[in-house]
Structure 1
Amino acid sequence: MIDMTVVELSRWQFAATAMYHFLFVPLTLGLSFMMAIMESVYVMTGRDIWRKATLFWGTLFGVNFAMGVATGIVMEFQFGMNWSYYSHYVGDVFGAPLAIEGLMAFFLEATFIGVFFFGWDRLSKVGHLAVTWLTALGANFSALWILIANGWMQNPVGAKFNPDTMRMEVTDFMAVIFNPVAQAKFVHTVSAGYVCGAVFIFAISCLFLLQGKHAELAKRSMVVAASFGLASALSVVVLGDESGYVATEQQKMKIAAMEAMYHTEPAPAALTLFAIPSSIPGEPVFEVRLPWVLGIITTRSLDMELPGITELVERAAIRIQSGMIAYGALQDIRADGSNAEARALFEQHWADLGYGLLLKKYRTDIENATGEEIALASFDTVPDVWPLFWSFRLMVGVGFFFIAFFAVWFYRASRGWIDTNRTMLWIGVATLPLPWLAIEAGWFIAEYGRQPWVVEGVLPTFYAASGLRFWDLVISLSFFVALYTVLLIIMVLLMIKIIKAGPQEKLFAASPTDDEDFVIAALPATPANKELGS
């Protein structure tokens, strides 16, 4: 039988490393394009202030990128350590985009980042600008491939289970690449990263103005951030709507759980803005609803029903019974590979094999599962409703706030009112943590809302875990959380020191002093460190 404690600890370990890793990814995406825009202005105008801005924000980008790489590497090893059966079962499909993502991140992007930092005095202006844009594109291509891999976990297209090898295998790699879920996730995720970068630059620039420092750089950075941030915030909402529409086609249970919709409603369904849950599922104590809105958003129609949780559980029970047939036929094929009748039966039902595997939580011989066990497995397809409900509203609420925030600042920038109101500047500083709250909530919705599946409809999460021991996971989880927390604190302190030092003339000066070189500014002013800087 499955040890669910081991499975839960494995989930916690991967969730902790993933959430830590994604503290750095969105800022990398956002800052990369903001750097490219600022350097483009420098090349076109020749004004040195834009070079300083590119150097300053680029330094912070470099620190953040290094942390993203360090935390991302561990995640890839965890597929083999904590999720070995997952790696075996879907490695033929998942491994290819993951490998390409590694090439994009560690060869393409990292190479151009090195040239960005060390090529200022070795390349022409246009040549260095091309490198900066390639750095930004490399970061986004890296995100594209990991989201293609993740999108396949949400919507496993272009692959089929091979009963001879006992694993999923690619049948159409182009379908994997152009998976509609992956494409929708990519544009939505990178747009959120652009908002994160814009808010980061905006908040730090507001702080500079409040302190009366680096006003010229801060004002110009705020104008770029307000423009870029407004466009990005609008894109996040529009592309998030598209992502929701695609999820309605492929992950109906996730949508129903996000809306706490237990029962199918007449089309078009109402959108719940706010609700207070009760002890009776589907009957909240209080709720505020907008008629028709949910149905129109998720189905793009007025007459298409959106199924509720109860109906989806009934559909799952039917698929579980079909999966039991597929599993029985698979056992016959393994016993006799030439059994044509068993292969024909498996071919009819293989798409529901994953649903049959849900019964492995309750018994090993799932062909003999009872009606009660089928009912329990059916209800296992329902994720926890209220954490998803409130996470979704947090994400959406912050998204709409940023549209209003950047719209106001775009208007103020067009009027030349950048530094005329200290209260507004303090609000700008206070917005700094909000993008990360929304982004982490979004990833929680995407991954937790998929449960109980590690690959939607194909492989249950509990079935994908390695057979590790309890204390192995407790010790490694504690170690990773402690290590990542220390690294995060170090990175934050380093970035604070760089921000306090302010913009520099050069990244690496020929004869650096504490005020001329960001490396020396970030380290204690000892003779050894000064020698290191030179």
Structure 2
Amino acid sequence: MDLLDPLLLARWQFGLTTLYHFLFVPLTLGMALTVSIFQTAWFRTAKLKWLHLTRFFGKLFLINFAMGVVTGIVQEFQFGMNWSSYSRFVGDVFGAPLAFEGLMAFFFEATFIGLWIFGWDKLPKGLHLASIWIATIGAWFSAYFIIAANAFMQNPVGFRIAEEGGRAEMADFGAVLTNPVALAALPHTLFAAFMMTAGVIISVSAWQLLRGRNLEMMRSSLKYGLWGMLVAFAGVVISGDQLSLVMVATQPMKMAAAEAMFDSACGADASFSLFSIGTPDGTGEIWSLRVPYLLALLSTHSFEGCVEGINDLNAEYATTVFPQFADQVDGNFAPILWVTYWSFRWMIGLGGLAALVAVVGLWLTRRNAKRAVPAWAWKLAIWAWPASLFALLVGWVFTEMGRQPWIVFSLMLTQDGVSPTVPGWNVLLSLVTFTLIYAILAVVEVGLIIKTSKKGPEPLPDPDAPPPAEPALEDTPTTVY
């Protein structure tokens, strides 16, 4: 292995920086909605606890939003330096959705976030509330345009190949925006984002309640987080089922790799693998623990459905579908099997664990509970955030690694997208630099979030406390002319 291979280094840099940036995106999407809901509750009920929760979780939202903007800028640098061939190929198609994303994120969304930040006690309450809702909707639209661009890499539609230069050109913007992959991925992404946000709310609330702080407010936010986690998990499962159907139709190799399905099978033989050991060359199975019919049901919604296997797909791709690319990949169009196989299972397992924490939490905090919540339960609840976070990260790894060896499915291999004239040492230098910068930013981000979370919201006023005394006349400052 050449440690200065530009392709290897460029892939590592893109993977590390994109995953780091993706830490902030889902929390921004979900926390914006949470702050909007809390402020709406305050607007409708005039209860101070909702105002304090709005301000408290609003701080976490703003810290995360600012860091997301900073880390997102690096992606543009990478496209230009490390992936110039890819950028040249997809630039005409990506230009429109990314331009809309920029308008939604940096003009529309950021403008109304600014109004929300500086509009306290300056804007009418209804208008101030509208500003955070508009910012939330803008963030979701921004996410959709990014998903539409990514969906083109998974399932290219709405384009034509230019006669000169061999570039993909936009032919139907509507087709790009209504790509079946994008339409299925949007709800899955939003539900996953809110699931991670619910994990943050559960963790912060449990930490405060474990220490007996801000009990009334934290009980309310905990209930919101617990129910939000279950609703989001249900949404993730349902939307994930629809996304899997689209994946089977557009990228059957990804599904086959996710299940270590080497040979095509139907019915009971199309089984879901709970654990599998494959041969060293990745062409066969040594042993596995499987659930009959389950993969057929997930892939086709039929117990008698058929699922194509890796070996059959490789033979089909190499001889009839993509023969022009066969030599470049040595006839193997499958991704790295252990990455797709285990990332798919870790995604499901960690997401299920986070949902289980919510179920236990709702049971222990139910109205008719006869015992106080034990300390171990609060400590367990604190892990709701890490579990949901890592479920989301490995799900993203599965989505992107499962597309390999393609950078744009069926059109361009990843190895053809790297910049042809950038030396390996140059990529290594930027990789090390950005890794160090991101490490510093991580310390700052985590430190700010932990500090804010530990401090908690402002305490509610004591209803039995006497009103503040009016200042004495002699204590009133005067102005001397």
What is the TM-score when the length of structure 2 is the normalising length?
0.90
Deviation for aligned residue 1:488: 0.8
Structure 1 segment 122-521 matched on structure 2, within 5 A: 122-267=122-267, 269-279=270-280, 281=282, 283-319=284-320, 356-357=324-325, 359=327, 361=328, 377-379=330-332, 381-415=333-367, 420-467=373-420, 468-504=422-458
Mapped to 2, the partners of 1:4 and 1:317 lie a distance apart of: 30
Mapped to 2, the partners of 1:165 and 1:475 lie a distance apart of: 31
User: Could you say what secondary structure the match of 2:267 adopts?
Assistant: coil
What code does the residue aligned with 2:417 have? A
Mapped to 2, the partners of 1:482 and 1:316 lie a distance apart of: 41
| Paired residues of 1:5 and 1:470 also in contact (CA < 8 A) | yes
Mapped to 1, the partners of 2:166 and 2:283 lie a distance apart of: 40
What code does the residue aligned with 2:274 have? L
User: Could you say what secondary structure the match of 2:161 adopts?
Assistant: strand
What code does the residue aligned with 2:426 have? D
Deviates most, 187-196 or 411-420: 411-420
| Paired residues of 1:267 and 1:304 also in contact (CA < 8 A) | yes
Mapped to 2, the partners of 1:6 and 1:416 lie a distance apart of: 62
Q: Provide the aligned length of Structure 1 versus Structure 2.
A: 456
| Paired residues of 1:236 and 1:399 also in contact (CA < 8 A) | no
What code does the residue aligned with 1:75 have? Q
Deviation for aligned residue 1:453: 0.6
User: Could you say what secondary structure the match of 1:438 adopts?
Assistant: helix
Q: Which runs of no fewer than 5 residues in structure 1 stay unpaired? A: 321-351, 362-375, 507-534
Mapped to 1, the partners of 2:4 and 2:298 lie a distance apart of: 37
| Paired residues of 2:208 and 2:456 also in contact (CA < 8 A) | no
Mapped to 2, the partners of 1:319 and 1:12 lie a distance apart of: 32
Mapped to 2, the partners of 1:405 and 1:209 lie a distance apart of: 16
Deviation for aligned residue 1:283: 4.6
Deviation for aligned residue 1:152: 0.9
In the alignment, structure 1 residue 117 sits paired with structure 2 residue 117: yes
What code does the residue aligned with 2:403 have? R
| Paired residues of 1:277 and 1:283 also in contact (CA < 8 A) | yes
Deviation string 1:412-451 (CA, Å, 9 cap, x unpaired) is: 4552659633221111012221112111101111111111
| Paired residues of 2:40 and 2:129 also in contact (CA < 8 A) | yes
Mapped to 1, the partners of 2:314 and 2:368 lie a distance apart of: 57
What code does the residue aligned with 1:488 have? A
Q: Which runs of no fewer than 5 residues in structure 2 stay unpaired? A: 461-481
Moved over 6 A (4+): none
**Structure 1 99/279 Cα, relative in aligned 2: closer, same or farther at 3 Å?**
same
Mapped to 1, the partners of 2:61 and 2:450 lie a distance apart of: 13
Mapped to 1, the partners of 2:78 and 2:298 lie a distance apart of: 37
Q: Identical aligned pairs, as a percentage?
A: 39
Deviation string 1:81-111 (CA, Å, 9 cap, x unpaired) is: 2111111111111121112111111111111
What code does the residue aligned with 1:276 have? I
User: Could you say what secondary structure the match of 2:385 adopts?
Assistant: coil
Deviation for aligned residue 1:59: 0.4
Deviation for aligned residue 1:377: 3.3
**Structure 1 280/487 Cα, relative in aligned 2: closer, same or farther at 3 Å?**
closer
What is the TM-score when the length of structure 1 is the normalising length?
0.82
What code does the residue aligned with 2:301 have? R
Deviates most, 299-308 or 288-297: 299-308
Mapped to 2, the partners of 1:388 and 1:423 lie a distance apart of: 34
| Paired residues of 1:263 and 1:282 also in contact (CA < 8 A) | no
- What is the root-mean-square deviation in Å for CA atoms of aligned residues? 2.1
Deviation string 1:133-176 (CA, Å, 9 cap, x unpaired) is: 11211211111110010011100011121223421112221111
Deviation for aligned residue 1:504: 3.5
**Structure 1 137/118 Cα, relative in aligned 2: closer, same or farther at 3 Å?**
same
| Paired residues of 1:358 and 1:460 also in contact (CA < 8 A) | no
| Paired residues of 2:364 and 2:373 also in contact (CA < 8 A) | no
Deviation for aligned residue 1:286: 3.4
| Paired residues of 1:237 and 1:400 also in contact (CA < 8 A) | no
